[in-house]
Structure 1
Amino acid sequence: MYIAHVRQLDKEIQTIKTHLLGVQRLAEQFGEKLGLKHVAGLAGLLHDLGKYSDKFQQYIDIVAFHPELPQPKRGEVDHSTAGGRLLFSLLHHKESTFCEKLLAEIVGNAIISHHSNLQDYLSPEIKSDYLRRVQDTNLPEYELAVERFFQDMMSKEELINYIHVAVDELEQFINRTPTQSFFVTKYIFSCLIDADRTDTRSFEEQVEAGEPTQHLLLFDGYYRRLMDHLAALKERSDASEPINVLRARMSEQCDVFAAERPSGIYTLSIPTGGGKTLASLRYALRHAGKYNKQRIIYVVPYTTIIEQNADEVRKILKDSEHILEHHSNIIEDDPNGRGDDDEADDGIITDKEKLKLARDNWDSPIIFTTLVQFLNVFYAKGNRNTRRMHNLSHSVIVFDEVQKVPIHCIALFNEALNFLKQDAHCSILLCTATQPTLEEVKHSLWKDRDGEIVPNLSEVAKAFKRVELIDQTEDPMTNETLADWVKSEINEWGSTLIILNTKRVVKDLYEKLKDFPVPVYHLSTSMCAAHRKEQLEEIRGMLDQQDPFICVTTQLIEAGVDVSFKCVIRSLAGLDSIAQAAGRCNRHGEDKQRNVYIIDHAEEAVSKLKEIKVGKEMSSYILARFKKKADQYERNLLLPKAMSEYFRYYYNRMEVNLNYYVKKLDKEMTKLLMSLSQENDYVTHYQKKHGASFPLLLNGSYKTAAEHFQVIDQKTTSVLVPYGRGKELIAQLNSGAWLEDISKFLKQAQQYTVNLYSQELEHLRRDNAIVVHLDGMIYELKENWYSDEYGVDLKGEGGMDFIGF
């Protein structure tokens, strides 16, 4: 009896055969969604072949059953290389077909990497980690392990027959482009990782996999509840007002479009305050029901939008169980982690291993997540990220405020969406009042022709006009002059929202205003999500009272947060940011018209914040043109004409920044991942160095790319903070009680974390303010370092405040 795992609780054994068959079954289910059932299943069949060796069996016997003996080093037995080597030996020789070789490379890389990151086929050092593993690594008992596999699992003939089916699937699927090859490799890797973790977790927790969710029945019920809600809105006394009639019409247009148009990449450019959340939900539910989609995923830039939109959707659909909010990764990758060639799975499920096995795979029917998490699925290191990828297929994916995609990730974002549309059967909806021109850049987005759901956008935008933009940028303001101005006008203006570009000036202005006789609020990404949510609830209460008050914040409030102030002051930024800020003023048309003031702040240090700096310059250019030729813009800078012009100028100016550039390697990320052999200078160097052609079809530097990728320019770490229920969660963490239901704990903890830059974390460490759990996998902030006023009590610039970690 060959052992794969030993349960910690009762020393029950899971055999290798049972585990391989379990993982194969799940991987086949996941792969079948793209017509790659046997390709993914093959990875499941072979991934732990190396556990058939005597060395591994002796190792697990000592660790599990003989604690009195000297204990071997954890993970010292390489059990993942053997399966990849077997596949390479069977399929990768001169007589092999293109797809046989490709199958060996794609599936083999997934197998050898299933406890690390995908390996480089060819690295910047002109080495192939993949070839080294499948050809050169010393595996003394490789033949023995293969012999036992064929005795215990299946015959060699049965495996060859299975491989032939997998080759046929790949032949049908692949179009031989390097872009697609990268995403297919990632997809198969995702299927294997999730299948392996799910089967291991089921064994450890002694649970059978539950019945799959009946998505279509669920979506049908949701659709009926949404329609009941919309019908109730039509019965309200204000339903006949022109704005509400227009909202209802746009909602109906979404319904018709969802049913009539097949899956593709479409835009929904409803103006701010036009009911975008419900209209996009109507599209998603209708389209999912008509075209048999498995999941609806909302991707947003800021966690503030997740909290608000998820709450709204839960109330309307009357369901909490099936709606997942995924804000951040509470668990950090093991900082001392094993090297990529070390084996994390040694068959014993420790508390740290339970963390890795916790359900974090996006298998809920409706998911709210962030742009950072979405991009991490495709490009970041860490198996938890990749594990989720296969669950993106057959989905309706709604990108809320899509203009907030970080500029250096534009090319990568577009390539991922093109794959999801073309190969993963997704329908993608780009929602924003400020639609970016992503189809006009290099690595362009394949938007569908005539893909805007709402016709006559200019006329619709004019009907929604509720504010006047007032250009006050001629004389730059300091916080001193800004505070004096606000104090002198606040009683006239009423509730006033001030949005500035950096946390430092926001906090400084708050300090200058907070002793003023009217209430003053401060919002910051230094606050955890639950803290911000409570602050926003207080602010909404103040807005209902109609009394003058002030809110000072960064741009976290301007994308999708449903608040309506009498007056807004926006520090000069990109025109899309100005338009979004304007959407927080007179949002529901309470008054005929209100003012939004654009100022030039003299004290913001944005020279190193290129996106803000260039956005300001392009907006200044548009404002200057508007002063001279307002008629060219129909006398309204918030109409689509001005916005399209702004984005064309902006992307043209930022062209060299659109494709993620790895400075250390002097290489664009797409070249690391998706280059053709004849265009890859690494291949040229390899051929010169070895005097022979490069022996592989694929040449991407997948591992190198993942190690260099991060959506935020500075690395951040999630820290659990002592605010509200966060104190209870910290108490559970310290007691160990949370281990009873890790998934539930992690889900709750997301609301009580703050993402800290590395310099902030180091500052807190020096002050002894950080408590580390499980060798650095979870961080806790001590109570004295969290303020009810500011959140994490640190000073600093902060940068872009992009908080969707």
Structure 2
Amino acid sequence: MRENLIAHVRKNEDGSWAVPHWLSDHLKDTASLTALFASKFHSGEWGKVGGLAHDVGKGREVWQRYLTQKSGCDEEAHLEGKKGKIPHAIHGAELVEQIFGKGIGRILAYCIAGHHAGLPDWSSSEGAGLASLQFQKTQVNDLDQLDSSIVDNLRSSKSPHPPWKFAAGLDISLWIRMLYSSLVDADYLDTEHYMNEKKALKRGDYCSISELNERCKHFFEELDERSERSEVNRVRRTIRDRCAQVAKEAQGIFSLSVPTGGGKTLSSLTFALEHAKTHNLDRVIYVIPYTSIIEQNADVLKSVVGADQVVEHHCNVVEDELNEKSRLSSENWDAPLIVTTSVQFFESLFASKPNRCRKLHNIAKSVIILDEAQLVPVEFLAPILETMQLLVERYHVSFVISTATQPAFKERDVDGTLFKGLKEIKEIVGNEKEVQKLYHSLVRNRIYFPKNLHLNFSWEEIAEELTQYEQVLCIVSNRTSCRELYDLMSEGTYHLSALMCGHHRSHIIREIKQKLVAKVPVRVISTQLVEAGVDLDFPVVFRAFAGLDSIAQAAGRCNREGKLPDLGKVIVFNPPRQAPNGILRKAAETAKSIVMENENIVIDHALFEQYYEKLYWKANSLDEHEIVTLLDPQRNDLRECSIYFRTAASRFRIIDDTQQKSILVRYKEGDQLVDRLKSEGPSRELMRKLQRFTVTVRQSVFEELQRIRVVEELYPNIFALSSSMHYSEKVGLIYGGRY
């Protein structure tokens, strides 16, 4: 290879030009790093070839002139009539196909062609147009201009062999995405090492899994010494001990079926660290459904292993709370303990953009804890479960499905139809009899269902009932109901809904907890946001009729610590308004049908199998957006390895942001932050802080707010309340008399 071919250039601190990053070094070093990453899933040779080929398009005279002219490092360089960017990625993609043939080459072509722009669709049939791999390949007519030594170097590379026999479905597409992740991260890291060595040196240097495991054991020794000798704490210790014991078993998919308040967060961490140590795994990834509870759980983990050992990757992380090392680790998940949201985790598994996919190879050789797993969206259940199974079989991943209300994820035959779920799930607590015994030992309340399932109560009647109790929580199924009931309550009642920004909700929850501990009157009207992971402990809980999972989660906020002399009371009622259309209404209808069939119903572990089985078969589809079809070359065109990465990524959106808008609100310091945004403009640090002061509303509501000029567009697609008058410290966002 010509020694003067350049990959990157930069300036020194004194303004002079540094020695260039030579293309030969960049290709060789990226290839080595990609091979290292891909070797975790038996694909090191594939990674090496991808790394050697990814930037070969820079080895053309036209691209070298483009680099020096655009950077300014060669003032005499000029482009003869050329404007805009000059592509280089597609040249490597086309070259590997020529050298290794369509079978091997097409796999690598997806990765190489998309290492900057994102994994492409094969053809334009799904709307990809000029971005499709098929079209891009037709635009390459100058491979003969590549430096000959680059081509020779690739030709001398060992031809890779498939790491396993691929099955139909998502097997090939997931593997390509994992190869892509390995290449993208290696390319980023090698480029960063040249462009910003100081930044590169800040990466890593965390405790090992073994060291974190020792910290965890020491924490529990101290916790057990200072904890009161209650029955609940005795059961929690028993569960932890069981987790440590089962963790030594072979990798696979595990369930941790523990009633709410049974200490799932700490028990699952015990299992994960011991399991990772036993099987020489690299990391533990804690996946949490809601940002509203992620900070609480992250704080628990930090108290166990140390704040500097937990990397949070979610939108509520404030920039100045992160050190540089932690922020860098959130880019590619190279730390041993990651805390993230289910949106971030699952959408990344089906993403096409390099910044979302970069971390995926670090999911290999890990333990993944799915907290509150029953909240996995039903419309994406088929591709999610298939991907989970593949991660276990191909990528040395173990899952812990952690919830009080275990969903029916296991593969089964239902009325002659195959539910293609997870092949084998091992319950950590033990057999069904042992699980039932655990649930019975942690019964801390009694659930009362309405005698007449067809009789609805008015909000006035519910409000009157609630006033009979000094400490009571009432959970309803939507924001409108929450506000309507709250308006009927006495002064001093608390309101909790997603019309309040995250910072506001956290503040209110702290106040509620303080009053509960002080045993002073406290009444709360809330949406279901308190049902997953919010550690409230009321003697009485009311719940509008909903799915059995929601009712059980609501019950988890009643007599949580088991300190009442008698059982707590959970009162289920028929509200004046049905649950919203879609899966929430189907869940409520499924629960009602089961309650009608069981006169003296007891919500226990065994009942959830029946409930979820019925609920999943009521769903319109477990792959509503045809994700599996888009990503399965056998269903499209196997000869062309026809996969539609970009279209699948655009459809796999757990939160459909095309139907809603985020608004920055003026609550407390959020008011000053919005003003600062107006005067200074957006920055990474400022926008991170403002995440805590964001409320999301439906598109139709947003349009009304715009019409009455309650919101203003500060910068393109950044909207904020025009005045603090439109945000209440009691109920959050207010507008036009509607909430």
Return the alpha-carbon distance in structure 1 between the equivalents of residues 182 and 328 of structure 2: 14
**Contact (CA 8 Å) 1:524, 1:553: kept in 2 or not?**
yes
1:246 and 2:235 matched: yes
Distance 1:670 1:155, change over 3 A: closer
What is the Cα deviation at residue 432 of structure 1?
0.7
Residue 602 of structure 1: which of 556, 576, 585 is its match? Answer: 576
Distance 1:102 1:602, change over 3 A: farther
**Contact (CA 8 Å) 1:393, 1:420: kept in 2 or not?**
yes
Give the structure 2 partner of residue 115 of structure 1.
116
For 1:44-443, list aligned pairs within 5 A.
Answer: 44-65=51-72, 75-92=84-101, 101-122=102-123, 124=125, 132-133=134-135, 135-139=137-141, 141-144=142-145, 146=146, 148=147, 150-151=148-149, 154=150, 156=152, 158-164=153-159, 167-168=160-161, 171-207=162-198, 209-210=200-201, 213=204, 217-236=207-226, 238-239=228-229, 241-259=230-248, 261-317=249-305, 319-328=306-315, 360-440=331-411
What is the Cα deviation at residue 274 of structure 1?
0.9
What is the Cα deviation at residue 732 of structure 1?
7.1
Return the alpha-carbon distance in structure 2 between the equivalents of residues 194 and 731 of structure 1: 37
1:535 and 2:508 matched: yes
Which deviates the most, 188-197 or 495-504? 188-197
Number of matched pairs? 708
Letter in 1 for 2:617: N
Residue 500 of structure 1: which of 476, 485, 510 is its match? Answer: 476
1:657 and 2:600 matched: no
What is the Cα deviation at residue 499 of structure 1?
1.0
1:769 and 2:711 matched: yes
What SS is found at the alignment partner of 1:162? coil
Distance 1:291 1:719, change over 3 A: farther
Return the alpha-carbon distance in structure 2 between the equivalents of residues 384 and 794 of structure 1: 37
**Contact (CA 8 Å) 1:250, 1:454: kept in 2 or not?**
no
What is the Cα deviation at residue 244 of structure 1?
2.2
**Contact (CA 8 Å) 1:496, 1:551: kept in 2 or not?**
yes
What is the Cα deviation at residue 753 of structure 1?
4.3
Return the alpha-carbon distance in structure 2 between the equivalents of residues 320 and 243 of structure 1: 27
TM-score (norm. length: structure 2):
0.87
Letter in 1 for 2:571: Y
Return the alpha-carbon distance in structure 1 between the equivalents of residues 79 and 699 of structure 2: 39
Distance 1:123 1:791, change over 3 A: same
Distance 1:41 1:208, change over 3 A: farther
Give the structure 1 partner of residue 415 of structure 2.
none
Residue 446 of structure 2: which of 468, 471, 476 is its match? Answer: 468
What SS is found at the alignment partner of 1:501? coil
Letter in 2 for 1:483: A
What is the Cα deviation at residue 420 of structure 1?
1.3
What is the Cα deviation at residue 640 of structure 1?
1.4
Residue ranges of structure 2 left out of the alignment (5+ in a row) = 319-326, 413-417
1:789 and 2:717 matched: no
What is the Cα deviation at residue 173 of structure 1?
3.3
Give the structure 2 partner of residue 7 of structure 1.
10
Letter in 2 for 1:187: M
TM-score (norm. length: structure 1):
0.80
Residue deviations 1:348-393 (CA, integer Å, cap 9, x gap):
xxxxxxxx99962222221111111111112244332222211211
Give the structure 2 partner of residue 95 of structure 1.
none
**Contact (CA 8 Å) 1:300, 1:401: kept in 2 or not?**
yes
Letter in 1 for 2:608: M
What is the Cα deviation at residue 250 of structure 1?
1.2
Cα RMSD after superposing both structures: 3.4
Return the alpha-carbon distance in structure 1 between the equivalents of residues 512 and 687 of structure 2: 29
For 1:684-763, list aligned pairs within 5 A.
Answer: 695-696=639-640, 698-715=641-658, 716=660, 721-723=665-667, 750-759=691-700, 762=703
For 1:608-687, list aligned pairs within 5 A.
Answer: 609-627=581-599, 630=600, 636-637=602-603, 639-654=604-619, 656-659=620-623, 661-662=624-625, 668-674=626-632, 676=634, 680=635, 682-683=636-637
Return the alpha-carbon distance in structure 2 between the equivalents of residues 459 and 357 of structure 1: 45
What is the Cα deviation at residue 62 of structure 1?
3.2
Return the alpha-carbon distance in structure 2 between the equivalents of residues 264 and 469 of structure 1: 35
Distance 1:124 1:136, change over 3 A: closer
**Contact (CA 8 Å) 1:82, 1:142: kept in 2 or not?**
yes
Letter in 2 for 1:132: Q
What SS is found at the alignment partner of 1:325? strand
For 1:473-488, list aligned pairs within 5 A.
Answer: 473-487=453-467
**Contact (CA 8 Å) 2:96, 2:105: kept in 1 or not?**
yes
**Contact (CA 8 Å) 1:44, 1:192: kept in 2 or not?**
yes
Return the alpha-carbon distance in structure 2 between the equivalents of residues 203 and 780 of structure 1: 40
What is the Cα deviation at residue 530 of structure 1?
2.8
Distance 1:538 1:377, change over 3 A: same
Residue deviations 1:439-474 (CA, integer Å, cap 9, x gap):
146563335354443441111111111111111244
Return the alpha-carbon distance in structure 2 between the equivalents of residues 218 and 738 of structure 1: 37
Letter in 1 for 2:501: C
Return the alpha-carbon distance in structure 1 between the equivalents of residues 686 and 550 of structure 2: 35
Return the alpha-carbon distance in structure 2 between the equivalents of residues 30 and 725 of structure 1: 43
Letter in 1 for 2:422: W
Residue deviations 1:10-57 (CA, integer Å, cap 9, x gap):
454434334333433332232122121231232222222222333333
What is the Cα deviation at residue 87 of structure 1?
0.8
**Contact (CA 8 Å) 1:294, 1:394: kept in 2 or not?**
yes
Distance 1:201 1:553, change over 3 A: farther
Return the alpha-carbon distance in structure 1 between the equivalents of residues 541 and 483 of structure 2: 18
**Contact (CA 8 Å) 2:173, 2:632: kept in 1 or not?**
yes
Return the alpha-carbon distance in structure 2 between the equivalents of residues 400 and 127 of structure 1: 36
Distance 1:48 1:155, change over 3 A: closer
Give the structure 1 partner of residue 421 of structure 2.
445
Letter in 2 for 1:191: S
Residue deviations 1:152-192 (CA, integer Å, cap 9, x gap):
xx561x3223242xx13xx2334354421010011111122
Return the alpha-carbon distance in structure 2 between the equivalents of residues 415 and 207 of structure 1: 41
Distance 1:482 1:712, change over 3 A: same
Return the alpha-carbon distance in structure 2 between the equivalents of residues 47 and 382 of structure 1: 16
**Contact (CA 8 Å) 1:723, 1:786: kept in 2 or not?**
yes
What is the Cα deviation at residue 553 of structure 1?
1.4
**Contact (CA 8 Å) 2:713, 2:720: kept in 1 or not?**
yes
Letter in 1 for 2:503: A
What is the Cα deviation at residue 265 of structure 1?
0.2
Distance 1:381 1:616, change over 3 A: same
**Contact (CA 8 Å) 2:213, 2:273: kept in 1 or not?**
yes
Residue deviations 1:289-318 (CA, integer Å, cap 9, x gap):
11111111111111122111111111122x
What SS is found at the alignment partner of 2:201? coil
Letter in 2 for 1:43: G
Which deviates the most, 188-197 or 493-502? 188-197
Return the alpha-carbon distance in structure 2 between the equivalents of residues 222 and 357 of structure 1: 20
Which deviates the most, 578-587 or 713-722? 713-722
Give the structure 2 partner of residue 341 of structure 1.
none
What is the Cα deviation at residue 646 of structure 1?
1.0
Return the alpha-carbon distance in structure 2 between the equivalents of residues 474 and 713 of structure 1: 33
Residue deviations 1:388-410 (CA, integer Å, cap 9, x gap):
21121111100111000011011
